Chains A and B, each alone.
Chain A
Amino acid sequence: MTATLTARIITVAAAKGGVGKTTLAYELAAALGAVLVDLDWDAGGATRMWGFDPARAARAPLLDALERGPDGRPPRPKRRPNQPALVPAHPDLSASRIDADLVGECLRAWAGSWEAPYVVVDTHPGANPLTDGAMQEADLVVVPVVLGAREMDALAAIVEDYRDYRLLLVPTMVPPVPPRRFVDRLAMLADGRIAVAPPVSEHRWIRRRLRRAALVTQPNPGARVRAAAAELRAVAESVEVACG
């Protein structure tokens, strides 16, 4: 019952796609020993990354559990060694008419029933009821930030819209020499009141990686995996600090 009181919900969200949301959520869940709830219904998300194909599955456990509501039986996370425990997404989530409040209530109830210190929620980019519900219920909203012009515009909108939320900005895909004007703009947007995690460098090889193990838990890691995992663990530490 202690888990009911202490389990923290970390929602990874961004206004834009392709900023490293799924990778960050996957790695954070693995680093924090969390359950990863995949609310991103698009193919190519954390569910497929984990190795689960919802189109070939007979049931949609997440959708079923959301329809049962917070008092119903929670979905059972799938587990594999070196991968985060996963509640997989389903394409039909996009057509569901579940409202934001119900999503938030379900997540809070499930977080209490899973014996994990954290629940990490990966979301679909942009505003939708599932993402809104996960953000409203979150103890911390982690926002990956790419240092680019349009990405910074999207971040400005998030910072403005969610100014009352507890946010943690995580610079991702950061080049060896970060563009100064975007770093300055990020500092201006954070304005000393929003936490900024240590940056995650641009590791282009990650896109070509076929392994399902999370980088932070990969057995026998090589030099480049170790380097990337160290950065992601630093982000996980800042998540723990920001959660309090």
Chain B
Amino acid sequence: MADQTSGIDLMRRRIERASRQPPPAPRVRTTTAEGAPSAAEPPGGAPAQAPGVAAGKGEAAAPVSPAPARARRRAAVPRAPERPRLAADLPPVNLAIRVRKPLDDHLADLIHELRRAGVRTSKVELIEMLLWEQAGEDAAALHPRLAAFRAAAPRGASAPL
């Protein structure tokens, strides 16, 4: 029976091996008051200066928590939006959307342009990409964009915002 489960175990091992984590957000250099960039952070995320050591000469060695610096850095780095992970084997859903012709023409032009540049894609992939990019956005942020779209391209039955 030990041999009987080996195939399943081997495949599960492959799954575990494949769980790649996305890379962290890029590190940015914080600037000092004079505008000169501060020392780069050493690898591993540890601060260049030990916590608790005062920055200025002769100053009292008051314990300084690294938290504010970290918070500033976090504020400076734009947070990567939470987007769904789309595995290749997820079941597809047929949206069956109808768009107005100029948009379809634009999509076709885009595909041809990309193809001339050596990139093969499709309408479905482009629309899926737009949806995926949108998935990380706030619904509130969509409000003004939707209003602008309705003003520029009204449909007959659009409800007022």
Q: A residues touching B (Cβ–Cβ < 8 Å)?
A: 149, 169-171, 174, 176-183, 186-187, 190, 192, 194-199, 238, 241-242
Of chain A, the residue at the smallest CB distance from B12 is A183
Q: CB distance A195 to B18 under 8 Å?
A: no
Q: CB distance B3 to A195 under 8 Å?
A: yes
- Alpha-carbon distance A101/B14, docked complex (angstroms): 42
B89 at the interface (CB under 8 A from A): yes
Interface residues of A: mostly helix, strand, loop or mixed?
Answer: mixed
Determine the chain A residues whose CB is within 8 A of the CB of B1 once the complex forms. Answer: 192
B161 at the interface (CB under 8 A from A): no
| A to B CB contacts below 8 Å, 8 in the list | A177-B15, A177-B18, A183-B12, A192-B4, A192-B5, A195-B7, A196-B6, A196-B7
Q: CB distance B5 to A198 under 8 Å?
A: no
Determine the chain A residues whose CB is within 8 A of the CB of B89 once the complex forms. Answer: 179, 181-182
Contact of A176 among B3, B5, B18 (CB under 8 A): B18
Q: CB distance A180 to B15 under 8 Å?
A: yes
Determine the chain B residues whose CB is within 8 A of the CB of A180 once the complex forms. Answer: 15
Contact of A198 among B10, B12, B15, B18 (CB under 8 A): B10
B97 at the interface (CB under 8 A from A): no
Greatest chain B CB density within 10 A among A174, A177, A199 is at A177
B86 at the interface (CB under 8 A from A): no
Q: CB distance B15 to A183 under 8 Å?
A: yes
Q: CB distance A183 to B8 under 8 Å?
A: yes
B 10-21 binary contact with A (CB < 8 Å = 1; else 0): 111011001000
Q: CB distance A171 to B11 under 8 Å?
A: yes
CB distance from A204 to the nearest CB of B (A): 15
Determine the chain B residues whose CB is within 8 A of the CB of A171 once the complex forms. Answer: 7, 11
- Alpha-carbon distance A190/B12, docked complex (angstroms): 15
CB distance from B88 to the nearest CB of A (A): 8
Contact of A199 among B3, B4, B11, B91 (CB under 8 A): B11
Beyond A176-B18, A177-B18, whether A183 also contacts B4 by CB under 8 A is: no
B87 at the interface (CB under 8 A from A): yes
Contact of A190 among B3, B4, B15, B91 (CB under 8 A): B4
Determine the chain B residues whose CB is within 8 A of the CB of A199 once the complex forms. Answer: 7, 10-11, 14
Q: CB distance A196 to B8 under 8 Å?
A: yes
Of chain B, the residue at the smallest CB distance from A145 is B7
- Alpha-carbon distance A199/B11, docked complex (angstroms): 7
- Alpha-carbon distance A170/B14, docked complex (angstroms): 16
Greatest chain A CB density within 10 A among B1, B3, B11, B14 is at B11
CB distance from A197 to the nearest CB of B (A): 5
Determine the chain A residues whose CB is within 8 A of the CB of B10 once the complex forms. Answer: 198-199
